[in-house]
Amino acid sequence: MSDSSDRNEDEAAAQVFTPDPVSLAHLELILNGAYPLTGFMTREEVASVAKDGRMPDGGAWPVPVTLPVPDELADAERLTLTDPEGAPLAELRVGQRWWSGAEGVEGQGDGDDAPGHRLAGEVRFAQPPVYGALRHLRDSPEQVRGQRELAGDGGVPVLAVVTDRPLHHRELHQIRAAAEELGGDDRAEVLVIIDAPLESAGMAPVVLAAEPLLPAPARFVVATLPRASAEGAATLSAERRELLRAHVAAAFGATRLLALDGSGPAVPAADDAPVAVVRAPEWAYDTAQAQWRPAGEVAPEAAAELPDEAEVEEMLALGRGLPAWFTPARVAAELARIRPPRTERGLTVFFTGLSGSGKSTIARGVAEGIRKSGRTLTLLDGDVVRRMLSAGLTFSRADRDLNVRRIGYVAAEIARHGGVAVCAPIAPYAATRAEVRAMVEEVGDFFLVHVATPLEVCEARDRKGLYAKARAGEIPEFTGISDPYEEPEDAELVLDTEGRTIGESVAEALDALRAGGWLPTESA
């Protein structure tokens, strides 16, 4: 048989797989050269990195880079790795397959401790990625270094900042001071690497708003830096995250990395980081002189207390302006644009509870109250969705999960455009509810209401006769009888309807939405 025939048969044998978001981020950083790796790690490499922060050959590297796959792909020889839209990104030639989570590196802190099958091996580039937000800013390290050379900046020191947060006045002063120190009598270039999710812009527009306030020349690039080795694995420690930032910054040509988070750990050891990592000196706003100054030059009683992230979020949620001394007007305006007051944000009010708990009736009452407040509203009742959106699905666990995911998808699209979705499925499984929450919170707010009516009360009501049929064995996998209901531990509101009227429960839910700022306080 000819080499061409062998190659064709080999191509036909390749299976197609879309990695989870974490592995997809790892893959892009491998392919664009930000990682000094040729592919996904072997079991031995993961164990070494997890234990010592080093590859078996002694080279420093902070994070295991793994590819989890489902059971049906555990024996694959080759995989075509695609983006979520199905476009091929790379080909993996499997060099090793192993199981993570039951033994080996489990519990080693920064190891790949999410259980499941892993495939290791080199990846071959297929075609440039097109999926993902802000693709025009996702230049590769080679492209960024080339741009600097073409601009005649090849010998200029580069101060890198990696951030997923806004650059307020304090951070801008820290960057200016560090750039001045690095450049000495000459100039230093500032390279801002914005750590943004692959599927959304995240805080990137807010970071970009600060561009005119940075010392020139300043460049911006977007990258997605994983917080873990794999989906479901333990989050990287702060020190390892800083080390990962240092490796990525070095690939982009940085000569120094400025760590802005003054509350973080000590800077990594010099022999572990490929570039010097320096902790930004603290700056404070001097209320006596109405200016920002190095913290050591400000009397303690004159230093303004900075609002933390939760306080900033609360001010934005309630439509209050951020203090001018705290953040530049450009940054404040962009923050207000992407985080408008809650009365203008997309919102999903998600009711969950047993069949017969009263959630659908309460949801209808709450929907009517929201509609009267003037907000655009869509009611996604569980039974109606079953007929219109999920016709043909069974009541198996897989189909019930799919039904809830469909509801979540529609709710997220409603929230994306500033509307309110009120949903009332049973949604018995915590993991699926968490998926819906994550889906919605990418574009809006999520308010989970647990209608916590006891099983015996629901069964006593049994308006549809479903519990009687389930007890008789006529309905398999019935929630509360032959299938579990996992009570939420993350509900924003718990309603106990026993001994209460529907009107009282509706009023409590509407009061909670008003108190949170999602409805105007004067609404009825």
| 356 assigned binding-site residue | yes
- What is the rounded average pLDDT of the residues 289-295? 97
User: C-alpha angle 496/500/503, rounded to 5°?
Assistant: 105
- What is the rounded average pLDDT of the residues 66-71? 95
Residue 336 contacts residue 209 (beta carbons within 8 Å): no
pLDDT reported for residue 103 = 44
User: What is the chain's percent helix, strand, coil content, to nearest 5?
Assistant: 35, 20, 45
| 200 assigned binding-site residue | no
| 319 assigned binding-site residue | no
Mean per-residue pLDDT of the chain: 89
pLDDT over 70 percentage in the chain: 91
Parallel, antiparallel, or unpaired for β 276-279 and 283-286? unpaired
pLDDT 10s digits, 133-165: 999 999 999 999 999 999 888 889 999 999 999
pTM: 0.82
CATH architecture of 135-285: 3-Layer(aba) Sandwich (3.40)
Q: Where are the domains of the chain?
A: 12-125, 135-285, 342-515
pLDDT 10s digits, 441-483: 988 999 999 999 999 898 888 877 888 887 878 788 788 787 8
Among 43, 153, 150, 57, smallest CA distance to 100 is for 43
pLDDT reported for residue 4 = 47
pLDDT 10s digits, 377-415: 999 976 677 777 766 676 778 888 888 999 999 999 999
Neighbours of 494 (CB within 10 A): 14
| 140 assigned binding-site residue | no
CATH of 342-515, one of 3.30.230.10, 3.40.50.720, 3.40.50.300, 3.40.930.10: 3.40.50.300
| 360 assigned binding-site residue | yes
| 359 assigned binding-site residue | yes
| 372 assigned binding-site residue | no
pLDDT at residue 262 greater than cutoff 60: no
List the CATH code of the domain at 12-125.
Answer: 3.10.400.10
pLDDT reported for residue 216 = 86
| 354 assigned binding-site residue | yes
pLDDT over 90 percentage in the chain: 72
Do 135-285 and 342-515 fold alike per CATH? yes
